[in-house]
Structure 1
Amino acid sequence: MSHTTQNKKALITRVRRIGGQVASLERALQSDADCDSVLQQAASIRGAVQGLMSLLLEDHLREHVAGSHPDALKELEPVMAILRSYLR
């Protein structure tokens, strides 16, 4: 995904944040934390990964599917909106 180099720093920051959330979840499990806390952390990780996936898909659609065709990008906007809402 060559277009990710434009947003590489932001993407890596997101991935590192997700890594921190996963490490925190692991610590919570090892310390027998409350079920509520563990479930909340797992849900947060899921949301963060889905947000990352949404960004990656949107960038891919803009760069590789629509390319330099403005009409195609206009047609893809509703699809990207649906994907964003689905991945929340």
Structure 2
Amino acid sequence: MSHTVQDKAKLLARVRRIQGQAAALERQLDKEEDCGAILQQIAAIRGAVNGLLGAVIEGHITHHLVLEPSEAQRREDLDVVLQVIKSYVK
């Protein structure tokens, strides 16, 4: 079973909070609010997305790299997480 299924409720709660933050940002832009408040909201969204990514990567490493009995599967799973990290830091 995938770790995202095990942590589904927590991950969905994070996604819903991010959706709420994005909706708030849209409202701020629509109302032409102060740039400082808009920047703060963008930073909050970025932090929330980073937290979500960190949680999923942590679960991936634990379940697919540490606990996976098959060395071949561990190598494949390592390639997946490395590609995600490489694309994220670009």
Determine which structure has greater relative contact order: mean sequence separation of CA pairs < 8 Å that are 6+ residues apart, divided by chain length: 1
Structure 1: gaps (5+ residues): 70-88
Identity %: 51
Q: How many residues align?
A: 70
Gapped regions of structure 2 (runs ≥ 5): 70-90
| CA apart distance, 1:4 | 1.0
Is the partner of 1:5 in helix, strand or coil?
helix
Q: CA deviation at 1:2?
A: 1.5
Give me the CA root mean square deviation.
1.7
- Aligned equivalent of 1:3: 3
> Residues 1-88 of structure 1: matches in 2 within 5 Å?
2-67=2-67
Runs of 4+ residues deviating >2 angstroms: none
In structure 2, C-alpha distance between the alignment counterparts of 1:2 and 1:68, rounded to whole Å: 11
Q: Give me the TM-score of the superposition, normalised by structure 2.
A: 0.73
Structure 1 residue 68, shift from structure 2 partner: 5.2
